Chain A
């Protein structure tokens, strides 16, 4: 009964380094999302996907790339990390359809860029 799993939970990067955050869900959800959460800013959408092979930009996409090669996985990449990308990153998923459905969140990845 894993739900949404994020890897890693914590990471420290040096400015300019790259990394990939992995999100995996076992609920067969079509929609997946990456949010970042900063103090005083709330949750902001970075990128999202409405199905395997699709991605779309959210509110704050600059500096990030994503891929959804498999339905259950949604990867978030930072090509050249900057201190402004220090944040807590949350992945979420929800089921298909225009019917309102809840979003399930992972436990978060705390990223520090020094």
Chain B
């Protein structure tokens, strides 16, 4: 089965800096990878999806890269703000394209 590792359980950065979160996976390479945001007491909310033939995807201050050779995705938040503080989850489809398998998440804290 697919295994997902997110680089760290918690990450603290200063406001205005770029936050970089890592998602590594083992076994087979998925057709796509997704990133979600989860606030305390709430369900995850979809942020971005990147397909295997895409190297990079951007949405406002968010950028995701997908390196199928390294079996890794990087998630960047530029010009970070305290409102970006949350847990970020990466997710991949299990074999057969459904359902999603989630990493344990990285809890990001942006300090003013």
Which residues of A approach B to under 8 Å, CB–CB? 4, 31, 33, 35, 40-43, 45, 48, 50, 58-59, 90, 92, 94, 98, 100, 102-108
In B16-46, the 8 Å CB interface with A consists of: 31-32, 34, 41-46
Contact A90 B43 (CB under 8 A): yes
**Which B residues touch A48, using CB under 8 A?**
98-99
Closest to A103 in B: B100
Chain A contacts for B100, CB-based, 8 A = 33, 45, 103
B104's partner among A42, A90, A104 (CB-CB below 8 A) is: A42
Contact of B89 among A42, A92, A107 (CB under 8 A): A42
Q: Is the CB of B46 within 8 A of A103?
A: yes
Bound Cα distance from A107 to B45, whole angstroms: 10
Q: Which B residues are within 8 Å of any A CB, using their own CB?
A: 1, 31-32, 34, 41-46, 49, 51, 89, 91, 93, 97-105
Quick one: which of A45, A59, A100, A106 contacts B34, CB cutoff 8 A?
A: A100
Instruction: Give chain A residues whose Cβ lies under 8 Å from the Cβ of B93.
Output: 100
Q: Do A98 and B97 touch (CB < 8 A)?
A: yes
* Contact B104 A41, beta carbon cutoff 8 Å: yes
In the complex formed, the residue of A with least CB distance to B44 is A105
B42 cross-chain contacts in A, Cβ below 8 A:
107-108
The complex places the Cα of A50 from the Cα of B99 at a distance, in Å, of 9
B43 touches A45 (CB 8 A): no
Nearest chain-B residue to A3 (Cβ)?
B43
The reply to whether A102 and B46 form a contact with Cβ atoms under 8 Å apart is yes
Of listed B1, B43, B103, residue having the most chain A CB within 10 A: B43
CA A111 to CA B97, docked complex, whole Å: 30
Nearest-neighbour CB distance to chain A for B47, whole angstroms, equals 9
Determine how close the nearest CB of chain B comes to the CB of A30; give it in whole angstroms. 10
Which residue of the partner chain, among B34, B101, B104, contacts A40 with CB atoms under 8 Å?
B104
Q: A100-B31, A100-B32, A100-B34 are in contact. Are A105 and B45 (CB under 8 A)?
A: yes
Q: In the complex, what residue of chain B is closest to A33 when comparing beta carbons?
A: B99
Return the chain A residue nearest B94 by Cβ. Answer: A45
Contact across chains for A104 and B41 when beta carbons are under 8 A apart: no
21 A-B pairs within 8 Å (CB atoms) are namely A4-B43, A31-B99, A33-B99, A33-B100, A42-B89, A42-B102, A43-B44, A43-B102, A45-B99, A48-B98, A59-B1, A90-B43, A90-B44, A94-B98, A100-B32, A100-B51, A103-B46, A103-B100, A106-B43, A107-B42, A108-B42
